Amino acid sequence: MHSSEIRYFLAVVNTGSLSAASEQLFVAVSAISRQIQRLETRIGVPLFERHARGMILNEAGQIFENHVRKSLMDMEHAMAEIKGLNAVRRTLIRVACTDGMAFYLLPSLFAGFRQLNPAVTFSLRVLSGKQVAEAVRDGDCDVAFQFSLHPERGVEVISSYAAPVLMVMKNDHPLAGQQVTLNDLSHYPLALPEPGTTVRQLFDLACRMNGTFIEPVLTCNFFSSHYNFLLHSPQAITLCSHFTVMYQAQEQGLMLKTFGVDQLTQRSLQIQAPPGRQRSAALNLFLQFASEQMQLQSEQVRQVFGF
Question: For 155-198, how does the pLDDT look when each residue is reduced to its tens digit (9 = 90+)?
Answer: 889 999 989 899 999 999 999 988 888 889 999 999 999 888 88
The answer to whether the CB of 61 falls within 8 A of the CB of 40 is: no
Residue 246 is predicted with a pLDDT of 84
For 268-302, the pLDDT digits (tens) are 999 999 888 888 888 999 999 999 999 888 888 88
Contact 48/62 with Cβ under 8 angstroms?
no
Q: Name the percent of the chain in helix, strand, coil, to the closest 5.
A: 50, 20, 30
In what helix (H) or strand (E) does residue 42 lie, and over which residues does it extend?
Answer: helix 29-43
Percent of the chain at pLDDT exceeding 90: 41
Using the predicted structure, report yes or no on whether residue 153 has a pLDDT greater than 80. Answer: no
Split at pLDDT 50, 70, 90, the class of 85 is very low
Half-sphere CA count of 266, side-chain side, radius 13 A: 13
**β-strand partners of 269:** 147, 161
> DSSP letter string over 58-98?
-HHHHHHHHHHHHHHHHHHHHHHHHTTGGGT-SEEEEEEE-
